[in-house]
Amino acid sequence: MPKEKYDPPDPRRMYTIMSTEEAANGKKSYWAELEISGRVKSLSTALWSLTHLTALHISDNSLSRIPPDIAKLHNLVYLDLSSNKIRSLPAELGNMVSLRELLLNNNQLRVLPFELGKLFQLQTLGLKGNPLAQDIMSLYQEPDGTRRLLNYLLDNLAGQPPARSWISLQEPDRTWPSALFSVMCYNVLCDKYATRQLYGYCPSWALNWEYRKKNIMQEILGCNADIISLQEVETEQYYSFFLPELKEQGYDGFFSPKSRARTMSESDRKHVDGCAVFYRTEKFSAVQKHTVEFNQLAMANSEGSEAMLNRVMTKDNIGVAVLLEVRKEMMESLHGMEKQLLLVANAHMHWDPEYSDVKLVQTMMFLSEVKNIVDKATRSLKLSSVSGETNAIPLVLCADLNSLPDSGVVEYLSSGGVDCTHKDFKELRYSDSLTKFNCNGKNSTSNGMITHGFKLKSAYENGLMPYTNYTFDFKGVIDYIFYSKPHLNVLGILGPLDPHWLVENNVTGCPHPLIPSDHFSLFAQLELLLNVPPQINGLHLPSRR
């Protein structure tokens, strides 16, 4: 059902007329409803300029058609076209998504445009007294008939969206040994969040997990990525669906649920969502797997900061990291090559726009832990890289950051750091605890910057993707794939869904019967420049460090 309670217009339609004195004193008139009567046969085009109207009463006239321009009255919540001579309705009527009540009783309608199925906020649909087909009227007369009929119309409306285009960004570096691999980042929308309260524009059957999960897996397998990072994966679905399905396709995986799972009963724990990383086993093997719990880090590093304890510690978001070793088969048969590692990190930050400080602190904590993983792996695996070198192991960071490109979170990741007085901290006292997450340790800098030391770039730069989250209320970029330089290059990315298809089919938000999540997946092909020994076949090769 729609989010807001709807009260229909008062049928008495009471009004007052301003006195001459009130008008002379500059009193403003306000009328949100309009009634047209008198056996009218056609409507003036001037009517379509009254976009402030919320109710339009045109019943009991002699109208035989309704112009498509009626859709310009986009604020209408009530439209009464009853008792006219209307034979057909314009498809544009389906664009009037604010409508709560549409009365079409006692007309001459034989068919309904499928576009009416897009009226996701409609609560009352009047169709009595029309010579409509029996199958339409049978649906309409069932319990919850309006909703069932709208779902039927929507189901028969849209064609499959066109394939997303591939955007080539650069050619592989032919002067250096390399391995190519692909990465997918995708928030799959956990079942418990896919409610009609949040996504009233999507029919219930298309929100159902049993329906959506097939399309989600089709999206994943269609990309055929070597590394898959997923957010909002339900615990039970990871073990019963995602892992078995992807193992059949040659993947293995690692998953951790949000921190709340540890305090729950077995039956409740299975519905907690978390982050998962899958990797193609013919190309990679797992060396280490790590879970990063932000609330635990907040508690351990609060340094007396009330904001850290009251705002960050109370959010149970998590991140995961998997240290992979590249299999020899990917490395162009180079002999004597040093062990080649790749660190894949995946996180889902807090959602609330009012908590920009929490998202920024969570991101800092995550990068600090990723750096610790790199440092320990460099030492324990006895890599030739200098211990403490942040970029010693190539890093791919996938995340739903719940942060726009102009946010402090993205500035921090892209530029290497932010000032501890950044506006996203909301002037809350974090500075003492934040220095612990500086790339060079506590009190290492005096310029007030909190830095991470990684040389990160976004695979989707320069607005290549206009939105990654697409709902009725919000459309923007909040999902990202970052990769570290100089070891990695991005060769190409999967572009956005054709915006013309979204407009032509009036897709006001996702999920949609043909789009199973409120997020679009990200997909990039990356080039890993390999570590090589000083000499190969007698040739000395310069270092890339």
DSSP 106: S
Q: Name the 3-class secondary structure at 90.
A: coil
pLDDT of residue 3: 44
Kindly report the length of the chain. 545
pLDDT of residue 337: 63
- Asked if residues 5 and 25 have their Cβ atoms less than 8 Å apart, the reply is no
Is a pLDDT exceeding 50 seen at residue 1? no
Q: How far apart are CA 172 and CA 529, in angstroms?
A: 10
- Residue 149's H or E segment, with its range, is helix 145-155
Tens of pLDDT along 189-241?
999 999 999 999 898 878 999 989 999 999 999 999 999 999 999 999 999 99
- Asked if residues 339 and 385 have their Cβ atoms less than 8 Å apart, the reply is no
pLDDT of residue 403: 98
Taking CB atoms within 8 Å and a gap of at least 24, the contacts of 53-59 are 54/78, 55/9, 55/79, 56/80, 57/9, 57/13, 57/33, 58/84, 59/83, 59/84, 59/103
Torsion of CA 433, 439, 441, 444, to 10 degrees: -100
Phi–psi pair at 73, nearest 5 degrees: -85, 65
DSSP 392: G
Q: What is the mean pLDDT of the chain?
A: 90
pLDDT of residue 354: 96
Q: Name the 3-class secondary structure at 79.
A: strand
Q: What is the mean pLDDT of residues 372-396?
A: 81
- Asked if residues 529 and 178 have their Cβ atoms less than 8 Å apart, the reply is yes
Neighbours of 99 (CB within 10 A): 24
pLDDT of residue 339: 83
* 340 closest CA partner among 535, 532, 184: 532
Give domain 30-156's CATH architecture. Answer: Alpha-Beta Horseshoe (3.80)
Strands 55-57 and 78-80, sheet pairing:
parallel
Identify the CATH number of the domain defined by range 166-529: 3.60.10.10
List the domain boundaries for the chain. Answer: 30-156, 166-529
Is the entire prediction scored with pTM above 0.85? no
* 202 closest CA partner among 319, 351, 358, 97: 97
213 contacts: CB under 8 Å, gap ≥ 6: 237, 241, 516
Q: How far apart are CA 485 and CA 474, in angstroms?
A: 32
Q: Where are the alpha helices (DSSP H) in 233-344?
A: 235-237, 243-248, 266-269, 294-300, 306-307
Tens of pLDDT along 241-268?
999 999 999 999 999 999 988 888 888 8
- Asked if residues 361 and 403 have their Cβ atoms less than 8 Å apart, the reply is no
Q: How far apart are CA 498 and CA 465, in angstroms?
A: 11
pLDDT of residue 297: 93
- Asked if residues 81 and 58 have their Cβ atoms less than 8 Å apart, the reply is yes
Q: What is the mean pLDDT of residues 531-545?
A: 48
- CA dihedral for 530, 534, 538, 540, sign (positive or negative): positive
CA 187 to centroid of chain Cα atoms: 6
- CA dihedral for 67, 71, 76, 77, sign (positive or negative): positive
Is a pLDDT exceeding 60 seen at residue 276? yes
Q: Name the 3-class secondary structure at 502.
A: helix
In Å, the largest CA–CA distance within the chain is 101
Q: What is the mean pLDDT of residues 13-42?
A: 82
Tens of pLDDT along 429-470?
887 788 888 876 554 455 788 999 999 999 999 899 999 999
Tens of pLDDT along 332-378?
555 556 689 999 999 999 999 999 999 999 999 999 999 999 999 99
Instruction: Report, as residue numbers or ranges, the catalytic residues.
Output: 400
Across 303-380, the runs of DSSP E, i.e. the strands, are 318-326, 341-348
Task: List the beta bridge partners of residue 288.
Answer: 323
Q: Is the backbone of residue 544 left (phi > 0), alpha (psi -120 to 50) or beta?
A: alpha
Q: Dig out the tokens for 46 from the structure.
A: 């001037």
Percent of the chain with pLDDT over 90: 71
Q: How far apart are CA 300 and CA 302, in angstroms?
A: 6
pLDDT of residue 387: 45
Strands 341-348 and 318-326, sheet pairing:
antiparallel
Least confident range of 35-44, 243-252, 431-440, 490-499: 431-440
Q: What is the mean pLDDT of residues 273-277?
A: 98
Q: Name the 3-class secondary structure at 19.
A: coil
237 contacts: CB under 8 Å, gap ≥ 6: 191, 209, 213
Max mean pLDDT among 17-26, 121-130, 333-342 falls in 121-130
* 383 closest CA partner among 505, 485, 249, 531: 531
Q: Dig out the tokens for 438 from the structure.
A: 């500086």
Q: What is the mean pLDDT of residues 294-307?
A: 89
